[in-house]
Amino acid sequence: MAMAGTVFVSGGSGYIAGFLIRQLIAEGWMVHTSIRNLAKEAEVRSHLGVDGTKLRFFAADLMSDAGWAEAMAGCSHVAHVASPLPADAPKHEDELIVPARDGALRALKAAKAAGIQRFVMTSSMAAVAYGHGGAKERFTEADWTDPASKDAYPYVKSKTIAERAARDWVAENGGDMEFCTVNPVLVLGPLQSGDFSTSLEAIKKLLEGSLPGLPNFGFGVVDVRDVADMHVRCLNAPNMAGERFLCSGPFLWMREIAEILRVGLGDSARKVPRRGLPDWLVKVSAWFDPVIRQVVGELGHVRDADTSHAQTVLGWHARPAKDSILDTARDMIRLGIVKV
């Protein structure tokens, strides 16, 4: 039987946090959560659709000390999910690195002061699979991104630096507080509202036909419900100190994702491109488009996650990727995020 106490989940308006809060409340936990601005509380509550008596909101921001102590008071566990993920390329990498790193350290310090027993941090495959020179295609928890490498674009750097800083802090100051990370790949799945995560952008672009073809990109995909479930397992399971778990389903190329959409959606996928986009063309467009420029290093790279550790230690398994991709697409159409 899973234990249940009072848990603090940071970034309560986020995509992963929403599913995490729902599952925790369904399993009997009391949840404290933070949002940057309490004026949004009613809106976030209505999206979450949970028993309101089990959920308390606090104002806290990654970049300020205010509110964190109050939010964690009375909690035994923390899931630190909040991290900056912008849709556009940042003007300067510090726009991502500073809030990601300082936010994690702020949350850890508050947790230690509040007597938190266990701290689960959402990191990323971005902290694992970059800067390995392209020779390596399958990764485990033992692998770390080299933030100095040229394929470590600002988001990748921010996740790597934040997780490293958190682990260093815990080693020095954590005492008996257990710390572990969940490192997801690209997160897909159902949408609760029109306010969707940047991670869903690839599916949106395919459905609306805004890409002239299919670039030679791929990514590991995982369902938001399975990411939330892994966090819950990390909050419940024994002996989590120092643990790290890759959270991934299969690695899929854009052409494979396009095919899943065409087969599963029929006429609604008619705008999904069919032909490949040559690498040289992607590289040329990177000169003009800062978003493409960030990910041009992904061309032709396989970054596949070995999740046997999470399967063995947590009993965790990913659902079929096809289900997640089609759930994302159907909700985008239903909510009018994409006009097909």
Domains contained in the chain, CATH given: 6-334 (3.40.50.720)
Residue 168, both tokens: 């260093």
Q: Does the pLDDT value for residue 207 go beyond 70?
A: yes
Catalytic residue among 91, 109, 159, 205: 159
Is 163 a residue whose pLDDT tops 80? Answer: yes
d(CA 57, CA 45): 9
| 159 catalytic residue (yes or no) | yes
Model pLDDT, residue 1: 40
Q: How much is the average pLDDT of 161-169?
A: 97
For residue 91, the model assigns a pLDDT of 80
Closest CA to 28 of 47, 12, 50: 50
- The arithmetic mean of pLDDT across residues 141-156, rounded, is 92
pLDDT surpasses 90 at 142: yes
The mean pLDDT of 173-188, rounded to a whole number, is 96
Per-residue model confidence (pLDDT) at position 86: 63
Q: What is the pLDDT of residue 3?
A: 62
SS3 318: coil
Between residues 181 and 294, the one the model is more confident about: 181
Please write down the HEC assignment for all residues of 102-170. Answer: HHHHHHHHHHHHCCCCEEEEECCHHHCCCCCCCCCCEECCCCCCCCCCCCCCHHHHHHHHHHHHHHHHH
Which residues lie below 8 Å from residue 91, measured CB to CB, with a gap of 6+? none
Q: For residue 99, is pLDDT > 60?
A: yes
Phi, psi of 276 (to 5 degrees): -75, 160
| DSSP tally for the chain: helices H, then strands E | 12, 12
Q: What is the mean pLDDT of residues 292-312?
A: 89
Q: Is the pLDDT of residue 261 over 80?
A: yes
CA distances from 223 to 143, 153, 312 (A): 22, 24, 19
Stated pTM of the model: 0.94
Whether the pLDDT of residue 140 is over 80: the answer is yes
Q: Is the pLDDT of residue 290 over 80?
A: no
Residue 40 tokens, joined: 């949004």
Predicted pLDDT at 194: 63
CA distance 79 to 8: 6
Confidence of residue 85 (pLDDT cuts 50, 70, 90): low
In this predicted structure, the answer to whether residue 248 has a pLDDT above a threshold of 90 is yes
Mean pLDDT within 144-163:
92
User: What kind and span of H or E run contains 78?
Assistant: strand 77-80
DSSP 39: G
Contact residues for 289 (Cβ-Cβ < 8 A; gap 6+):
none
Going by pLDDT thresholds of 50, 70 and 90, the confidence category of residue 87 is: low
pLDDT for 4? 75
What is residue 304's predicted lDDT score, i.e. its pLDDT?
95
- 223-233, pLDDT tens digit by residue? 999 999 999 99
- Model confidence pLDDT, tens digit, residues 40-83: 999 999 999 998 899 999 999 888 899 999 999 999 999 999 87
